[in-house]
A and B are shown apart, each in its own frame.
Chain A
Amino acid sequence: MGNKQTVFAHEQLEAYQDCTFFTRKEIMRLFYRYQDLAPQLVPLDYTSCPDVKVPYELIGSMPELKDNPFRQRIAQVFSEDGDGHMTLDNFLDMFSVMSEMAPRDLKAYYAFKIYDFNNDGYICAWDLEQTVTKLTRGELSTEEVSLVCEKVLDEADGDHDGRLSLEDFQNMILRAPDFLSTFHIRI
């Protein structure tokens, strides 16, 4: 069952299977999707673990991501150096976390990092404004945006320090039943 592939060594595929939520078949399918993004760049033989990064522009043009307003942040969070250029490991990691088998805590952790635009470990008011602007494509007025951010901070900030820490975010997200179904990309 799937033993004929020559892309990965057997231990590599086992390792991928143990460390992500995908089965072997799905990993191969994802690899071919990755390879399709940049056929000249990505070799068909990964047994020697080549150091190949697909640039962000190609990742962001995938049909699953191209209409997502957070695609740049998602790619940045999962990429090696935070610039959006992804290796195969990053690619698999991204879709593994966004798959439906990933547990809530893991998704909440990465969602926090995605919404933390300035990467300071907290979601401050500026991050919130960025999020709301991206969500509404800039069609809300500035005072509406700041009003929404204020209400969000009111509701979610537990220790009243003016920004959301990871614990605040997790506490709020884990109470939202919809989170699992919306933070999910099917591939």
Chain B
Amino acid sequence: MAQPLNFVLNVPETPEEHSSQEPSPYDENEVHDSFHQLIQEQSQWVAEEGLELQQREPGAGGPKTSGCGQHALPGPEDALAHSAATLRVLASMPSRTIEKRFLLVKELEGLPVAQRNHMLRGMPLGLAEKRCLREETQTPKEKQRGRQGPHGLFPCCGRLRDACVLALHNLGLGLLGGLHALRPWHYALKQIGGQFGSSVLSYFLFLKTLLAFNALLLLPLLAFIVGVQAAFPPPAPPGSVPSFTGLELLTGGGRFTHTVLYYGYYSNSTVSQPCVPPSGGGQCSREADSLPYSMPLAYLFTVGLAFFITCITLVYSMSHSFGESYRVGSTSGVHAVTVFCSWDHKVTQRRASRLQHDNIRTHLKELLAEWQRRRGSQSACGRLRRVAVRGLVWLLSLGTTLGCTVAVYAFSELMIKSPVSVEQEGALLALPVVVCLLNLGAPYLFRCLAALERHDSPVLEVYVAVCRNLILKMVILGILCYHWLGRRVGTLKDQCWENFVGQELYRLMVLDFIFVLLDTLFGELVWRLISEKQLKRREKPEFDIAGNVLELIYGQTLTWLGVLFSPLLPAIQIVKLLLIFYVKKTSLRANCQAPRRPWLASHMSTVFISLLCFPSFLGAAVFLCFAVWRVKPSSTCGPFRSLNSMYEAGKVWVRHLEEAGPRVSWLPWVHRYLVENTFPVYLVSALLLAVIYLHIQVVKGQRRVICLLKEQISNEGEDKVFLINKLHSVYERKERSRAGRTQEAERLTDDPDAW
């Protein structure tokens, strides 16, 4: 029913109300007070009556007057057994949201249009009512504007400004409408949500988010680095250009080496100037003849800017997601949450719907079983055994991780010791293949190990699995980073080590994609065929959300690691993500079913974004900072070829600006006192820590307030019941005494001589 509940109150025309203002939520105190008064009056009156009765009928104890003598109030256990009268009284008590319609209208009229619409949309009224309200609160000016419509764009000059505003408004709405229509994959996502539910959908939404991040990263790189260098190509290197063989797509070398794809292609001077840099300096001196576009500066600042924008966007979306999904005190109430929030209304297919029914039923049964088990005794022996098993499994997992790390390290050292000639570029694929195999195989091992231990909640199982896989991937990437920046830089002294690192990352990305395809093929398709034909089970394999999301995060980490050395890597990542979307979608529809265990989809989205921010982006940022500040760039290629570190390009420019004159002297000042000085860093860190501490205290305070309020509500409920019961008993006594008196009166009329 679309009745406006609690929003319209028919105020009775009682004389007491005419002078006072409209009833406010605080009036409930008055109601309580008047209740109290009422009870006191009635109790007094009944006490008098009772005394009278007792005087007249001293002998007649009995049930009529026993009610007066015994003030037996129902204890708390009777609180639930309300009579119909009590319920009626409870139901008619004024609720806290008393408002009058014209108060609402007055409030709405005072607001600007956008806010008014925002308020209107959020009101729990029917649409017809909302339209009436909107009509009433519209100012005549707006009504006229609305009536003109889109065709009223050529009024007389007096209303030209209004017309312009209206045109802009329509343009904005049109753009918004266009954007909504352009929402990519709207129908595909709807199908996936309908068939598999919100949790599997969260994977695809995460993929879409990653696409957005990569597009954001790619735009400045394309605009300021790749585009410019492609328009003004540097002179060709000596020697012949190798011909294109198909292997380049995998190894990234060969024909692709001297292209915009890699760091080595970029000139270290202002563009369009084939300049031989003087020794010790960083830039060409003949700036007057060329565009004042210094490629080293552009490279450094654009990569820095792209990372900074990504960082801000990530932190913002993480905090937004956190704000949506984290609530103070949200861990209790699992039964209530299951009953009210677990039905996913997006699911639209019959089979998926049945699966949801089954899942919810199983979950409820599990919860009940868990509750009954916890009520039973928990033996210390059982607990100790569980802790021991968990410890063992963790030890084994960490041991596996260590083993994989050592394997990667040993293999990388082997690759350094046996250098690869130009013809055998295929051998360069060995290390990425080993890494990808380990990344693919170890999670299966973890899953087998996890089958040994038994967790209380399925969500905890997922978190633990995600944790272990994440540790493995990050440690392997860490070893690879050390291998590149620590060892390869030393061994590739006269060659372009940055190109090599860029190519390694390219290879890792491409092979990761191939292995994802293979995993989808074997993990999902072949497993389904085997389980259907050989094992004769009707169940399809589950879609492993956590594993797939970690794959995406890993791929994104590779992109971020490689951006400095290969500016077009985000473009390759975008293509890869698009292909993965379609492959996974097809495989999902054909081979998989929704996960059995109910998932906290929004919690998981928060976890995914946080994982993307913390180990992944932070690690890439640390790697970038290290490469920019500490490592000497190679001397034969790239935009920083004659400097001691990439950061020096910035320092050289600042020195240049100092010489340039007093007009831009604030920039060197900023550089010297804010960037190079350590004091501002400490200050900012201290401020940040103080803000974090403040927020923690605020949250603690809120938790305490919530506890106190809960207690208060509980007490008020008991008070309410107590008052109602007391009133009820008083009323009953009154009724009984009245009945007693009428009986007395009848007896007197029947037998006037009794006295």
Count contacts on A: residues with CB < 8 A to the other chain.
Answer: 88
Residue A18 is within 8 A (CB to CB) of chain B in the complex: yes
Beta-carbon nearest neighbor of B601 in chain A: A181
**Contact call A19/B340, Cβ cutoff below 8 A:** no
Contact A148 B364 (CB under 8 A): yes
CB A25 to nearest CB in B, in angstroms, measures 5
Q: Hey, what's the 0/1 contact readout for B129-164 against A, CB within 8 Å counting as 1?
A: 011001100000000001101110000000000000
Expressed in whole angstroms, the Cα–Cα distance for A175 and B180 within the complex equals 30
Contact B150 A10, beta carbon cutoff 8 Å:
yes
* Distance, CA A115 to CA B343, complexed state (A): 12
- Which residues 103-129 of A sit at the B interface, judged by CB distance below 8 A? 103, 105-106, 109-111, 113, 115, 119-122, 128
A160 to B12, CA, bound (A): 31
For B149, the chain A residues whose CB sits under 8 A away are 10-11
Number of A-B contacts (CB under 8 A): 236
**B364: shortest Cβ distance to chain A, in Å?**
6
For A82, the chain B residues whose CB sits under 8 A away are: 1
CB distance from A182 to the nearest CB of B (A): 5
Do A135 and B134 form a contact, CB below 8 Å, given A1-B173, A92-B127? no
A178 and B1 contact, CB distance less than 8 A: no
Judge if B80 is at the interface, Cβ distance under 8 Å: yes
Distance in Å: Cβ of A3 to nearest Cβ of chain B: 5
Q: Does B121 contact A (CB under 8 A)?
A: yes
Chain A residues near B178: list those with CB within 8 A: 1
Our pick among A69, A159, A172, A175 for the contact of B713 (Cβ within 8 Å) is A159
| Contact flag A20-B127 (CB < 8 Å), given A140-B365, A158-B717 | yes
A152:B364 contact, CB within 8 angstroms: no
Partner of A23, one of B177, B189, B352, B368: B177
Q: Is the interface of B mostly helix, strand, loop or mixed?
A: helix
Set of chain A residues within 8 Å of B349, measured between Cβ atoms: 67
A77 to B91, CA, bound (A): 20
User: Is A45 in the interface zone, CB < 8 Å from B?
Assistant: no
- How close is A165's CB to chain B, nearest CB, in angstroms? 8
Q: Is the pair A19, B121 in contact by a Cβ cutoff of 8 Å?
A: yes
One of B29-37, B248-256, B319-327, B467-475 contacting the partner: B319-327
Contact yes or no, A177 B177, CB < 8 A? no
Q: Do B336 and A172 touch across chains, with their CB atoms under 8 A apart?
A: yes
In the complex, whether B384 has a CB less than 8 A from a CB of chain A is: no
Q: Mark B328-339, 1 if CB is under 8 A from A, else 0.
A: 011011111101
Q: Mark A135-170, 1 if CB is under 8 A from B, else 0.
A: 111011000100110011001101111100011010
Evaluate contact between B326 and A23: CB separation under 8 angstroms: no
Residues of A within 8 A of B181 (CB): 25
User: Would you call B455 an interface residue if the criterion is a C-beta within 8 Å of the partner chain's C-beta atoms?
Assistant: no
- Could you tell me the distance between the alpha carbons of A111 and B339 in the complex, rounded to whole angstroms? 12
- The answer to whether B193 and A186 have CB atoms under 8 Å apart is yes
Q: Is A90 an interface residue (CB 8 A)?
A: yes
Residues from chain B with Cβ under 8 Å of A103 in the complex: 122
In angstroms, Cα B601 to Cα A15, docked, is: 35
Closest Cβ–Cβ distance, residue B374 to chain A (whole Å): 12
A10→B180 contact, CB < 8 A: no
Tell which of B1, B126, B177, B718 touches A2, judged by Cβ atoms closer than 8 Å: B177
B361 touches A151 (CB 8 A): no
Residues of A39-89 contacting chain B, CB below 8 A: 63-64, 66-70, 76-82, 89
The answer, yes or no, to whether A36 is at the interface (CB within 8 Å) is no
**Option from A92, A131, A161 in Cβ contact (under 8 Å) with B339:** A131
**B389 at interface, CB cutoff 8 A:** no
Return A87 CB to nearest CB of chain B, in Å: 8
Cα–Cα distance between A26 and B176 once the two chains are bound (Å)? 11
What is the minimal beta-carbon distance from B182 to any residue of chain A, in angstroms? 11
CB of A172, distance to nearest CB on chain B (Å): 5
Residues of chain B lying within 8 A (CB to CB) of residue A2: 174, 177
Contact A70 B180 (CB under 8 A): no
* Pair A89/B127 contact, Cβ less than 8 Å: yes
Contact A135 B353 (CB under 8 A): no
Closest-by-CB residue of B relative to A88 is B127
B695 at the interface (CB under 8 A from A): no
How many Å from the CB of A91 to the closest CB on chain B? Answer: 9
Asked if A161 and B90 make an inter-chain contact with CB atoms under 8 angstroms apart, the answer reads yes
Which of A19, A178, A184 is the one whose CB lies under 8 Å from B131? A19
* Interface contact B600-A178, CB-CB below 8 Å: yes
What residues of chain B lie closer than 8 Å to A38, measured between beta carbons?
Answer: none
Asked if B198 is at the interface (CB within 8 A of a chain A CB), the reply is yes
B659 proximity list for chain A (CB < 8 A)? none
Nearest-CB residue, chain B, relative to A81: B1
Specify the chain A residue showing the minimal Cβ separation from B81.
A162
Tell whether, in the assembled complex, residue B177 and residue A25 are in contact, meaning their CB atoms are under 8 Å apart: yes
Nearest-neighbour CB distance to chain A for B393, whole angstroms, equals: 29
- Tell which of B329, B346, B717 touches A161, judged by Cβ atoms closer than 8 Å: B717
Contact of A177 among B333, B600, B710 (CB under 8 A): B600
Query: What separation, in Å, do the CA atoms of A172 and B180 have in the docked complex?
Result: 33
Among A25, A66, A98, A115, max chain B CB count under 10 A is at: A25
**Which residue of the partner chain A has the closest CB to B197?**
A182
Residue in B1, B122, B353, B603 whose beta carbon sits within 8 Å of that of A79 in the complex: B1
Counting chain A CB atoms within 10 Å of each CB, the highest count among B149, B339, B349, B350 belongs to B339
Residues of B within 8 A of A120 (CB): 91
Mask of B1-38 contacts with A, CB within 8 angstroms, 1/0: 11001000000000000000000000000000000000
Complex Cα spacing A135 to B364, Å: 10
B151 cross-chain contacts in A, Cβ below 8 A? 3
CB pair A144 B348 closer than 8 Å: no
> Is the CB–CB distance between A177 and B147 below 8 Å?
no
> Quick check: B124 and A110 within 8 Å, CB to CB?
yes
The answer to whether residues A185 and B346 also contact, given A23-B176, A132-B364, A172-B337 and a CB cut-off of 8 A, is yes
User: Which residues in chain A, 1-35, are within 8 Å of chain B measured between CB atoms?
Assistant: 1-3, 10-11, 14-21, 23-26
Are A182 and B330 neighbours in the complex by a CB distance under 8 Å?
Answer: no
Give the nearest-CB partner of A115 in chain B: B340
**Contact yes or no, A139 B717, CB < 8 A:** no
Least CB distance from B579 to A in Å reads: 25
Chain A CB within 8 A of B275 CB: no
- Residues of chain A within 8 A of B600, CB atoms compared: 177-178
| Pair B340/A80 contact, Cβ less than 8 Å | no
Residues in B neighbouring A172, C-beta threshold 8 A: 333, 336-337, 340
A160/B126 in contact, CB under 8 A: no
Chain A residue numbers with a CB within 8 Å of B368 are 144, 147-148
Q: List 21 A-B pairs, Cβ < 8 Å.
A: A17-B173, A19-B130, A23-B173, A67-B347, A67-B348, A68-B353, A78-B2, A79-B1, A96-B121, A120-B91, A136-B364, A139-B357, A139-B361, A144-B368, A148-B367, A162-B82, A173-B340, A175-B330, A176-B340, A177-B330, A179-B341
Query: 9 shortest A-B CB distances, which residue pairs?
Result: A159-B717, A1-B174, A82-B1, A67-B353, A177-B325, A10-B149, A89-B127, A19-B130, A93-B127
Residues of A near any B CB (own CB < 8 A): 1-3, 10-11, 14-21, 23-26, 63-64, 66-70, 76-82, 89-90, 92-93, 96, 98, 102-103, 105-106, 109-111, 113, 115, 119-122, 128, 131-132, 135-137, 139-140, 144, 147-148, 151-152, 155-156, 158-162, 166-167, 169, 172-186
10 new A-B contacts at CB < 8 Å, known A137-B357, A159-B720: A15-B134, A16-B131, A19-B121, A68-B343, A70-B343, A77-B1, A90-B2, A137-B361, A152-B336, A182-B346
